Amino acid sequence: MDVFKTHGAFSWNELLTADPERAAAFYTGLFGWAVETHEMSVGPYRVVKTADGTAVGGIMAFPPDTPKEVPPHWAGYVTVDSVDDTITKALDLGGSVLVPAMDVPGVGRMAVLRDPTGAAINVIRYEAM
């Protein structure tokens, strides 16, 4: 199964933190991950890879507008066939939109949704890889 193409599959995990360098050092020591840093519009983005070179997630600093009370956290991404259709369905099911759909150049289209219990989840449709 290709998780980057399969609707409903968890496909990426991302850590948002105030100290991404320290977090990367911790996780590389803990899991033996390798880190590949890329410059992005939001600053350095650290892609974490398993020993066989498989990219499994990323580590980044909080965006500047993040409220101070938001703790560091891991966030999962679920692949969808259409971000916009998924937003519509989430709203129909009693969910809400935390971050509206946006295009991330070189990555795909994504949004952050909240389920009726208050939990957040990221949805994404990847660009062709």
Clarify whether residues 49 and 93 are in a common domain. Answer: no
Clarify whether residues 89 and 68 are in a common domain. Answer: no
Domain count of the fold of the chain: 2
pLDDT confidence of residue 45: 95
- Residue 33: pLDDT band with limits 50, 70, 90: very high
Whether 4 maps to a domain, the answer reads: no
Mean pLDDT in the chain? 95
pLDDT per position as a tens digit, 56-97: 999 999 988 889 999 999 999 999 999 999 999 999 999 999
Q: Which of 15-24, 60-69, 92-101, 115-124 is predicted with the least confidence, judged by mean pLDDT?
A: 60-69
Clarify whether residues 66 and 84 are in a common domain. Answer: no
Clarify whether residues 93 and 116 are in a common domain. Answer: yes
Clarify whether residues 63 and 110 are in a common domain. Answer: no
Whether 6 maps to a domain, the answer reads: no
Measured CA to CA in angstroms, residue 68 lies from 15, 41, 62, 72 at distances of 16, 21, 10, 10
> What is the number of other CB atoms lying within 10 angstroms of the CB of residue 124?
20
Domain of 37: which CATH number?
A: 3.10.180.10
Clarify whether residues 23 and 61 are in a common domain. Answer: yes
Q: Which of 15-24, 61-70, 111-120 is predicted with the least confidence, judged by mean pLDDT?
A: 61-70
By residue range, what is the domain housing residue 18? Answer: 13-72
